Amino acid sequence: MWRHVASNALTLFIVILVAAGGIVAWGKKQYTAQGPLEQAICLRVERGSNMSRVSEQLAAMGAVSSPAILRIGASYSGKAGQLKAGSFLVPAGASMAEIVDIVTRGGASTCGTEVVFRIGVNRAEVQIRDLDPATGRFAEVAAFVPGEGEVPEKYLEVRREADTRYRVALAEGATVWQVVEELKDADFLTGEVEKLPPEGMLAPDSYEVKAGDSRADLLRRMQEKQAARLAAAWERRAEGLPFKTPQEALILASIVEKETALPEERPTVASVFINRLRRGMRLQTDPTVIYGVTEGRGVLGRPIRRSELRRETPYNTYVITGLPPTPIANPGLASIEAVLNPADTDYLYFVADGTGGHAFARTLAEHNANVAKWRALEAKRKKNGGN
């Protein structure tokens, strides 16, 4: 009898073990299997939260089928105590294992709200935007010009959030002085800028930063990127260019940057100036004159005076021969590459054509005809009220 009871107990125990093993195997499969999420979501993990709360959030958002399995899986993998605060993009179909990895690996938030501080040629703008997880694109929710008017409540709200992401976007053609002045209004950055970087040596680009980063460190990153771009483009330069140093190429690139906003025109505009340099002709470009007047400190805001065109300054290319002593703005990569690999043309002149581009000419007679067309278009535009 006792043998019979013991045999039954052993059998029951084995059955329980097999069942438990099956449950564990099923749980593991559930933990690593594709999840039920049909569309990507942005999961916000608050400071002080825990895996239990997050698992319930995920279940409410339709991202997991079983909060309990997620918690057990996180504990079993040793990640339950590694939860990070922030906003995280959870892709459609993400498994529980993948979600746990996303919220525990650390690093910057991958979705949520982003503040973009845009530095343009004329002014700066602050843009607050949210990532739409479904499309992977940002949508603007508020914008304002720093130092002008009231700051939107939305900006004050996101500045208080620890997981807000920050980005500084520098446009092509701004001067170093303008960049440094505008950065003073970026209240998420810290520190003073003791010395202006060299003109032209800040790379126009988009830079991800963290709240509390220093302005000096950001400017250093911009300089390092511009130096790397210039060095790489110099190595790939065409033969026979009228430049002795990368600095001379940077100077001309800044002039090209200020002369045209059309990417497809830059190699042709560069070719005009290079042809002039080769022939010993003066560059005769208005942006250098303007820089000589303003010293890069803001926008002239009016037409150039005749006296300014005649005044001899190191930047008046109607008076001096060759390049001015420094760049006149921060050129983008496209302008640097255009100058070091220009189009093969015999153009010596160009003037606006009324469409946003330029009309190019080989001879002074052709150029004068193009100028006459431009003046006629300008007169007609003024007569029609500027339209």
Q: Which sequence spans correspond to the domains of the chain?
A: 30-104, 113-230, 239-383
- Per residue in 361-374, pLDDT (tens digit) is 999 999 988 888 88
pLDDT at 24: 58
Of 181-185, 194-198, 296-300, the one with minimum mean pLDDT is 296-300
- Per residue in 124-133, pLDDT (tens digit) is 999 998 877 7
Of the two residues 191 and 105, the one the predictor is more confident about is 191
Q: What six digits make up the tokens of 276?
A: 């002039």
pLDDT at 321: 93
Of 113-117, 233-237, 378-382, the one with minimum mean pLDDT is 378-382
- Mean pLDDT in residue range 287-297: 91
Beta strands in the chain (DSSP E): 41-45, 86-90, 113-119, 124-132, 137-144, 165-170, 206-209, 349-352, 358-361
- Per residue in 226-242, pLDDT (tens digit) is 999 999 999 999 999 99
pLDDT at 212: 92
- Per residue in 1-28, pLDDT (tens digit) is 545 544 555 555 555 555 555 555 655 7
Whole-angstrom CA distances from 67 to 54, 72, 166, 326 are 9, 9, 33, 63
Nearest-angstrom CA–CA distance, 324 and 332: 19
What pairing do the DSSP bridges indicate for beta strands 137-144 and 206-209?
A: unpaired
pLDDT at position 252 over 60: yes
Torsion of CA 137, 142, 147, 150, to 10 degrees: -170
Topology adopted by domain 30-104 = Dna Ligase; domain 1 (3.30.1490)
pLDDT at 278: 95
pLDDT at position 246 over 90: yes
Q: What six digits make up the tokens of 116?
A: 């973009």
- Mean pLDDT in residue range 255-279: 95
pLDDT at 5: 47
Rounded to the nearest integer, the mean pLDDT of the chain is 86
pLDDT at 387: 54
Q: Which amino acid is at 251?
A: I
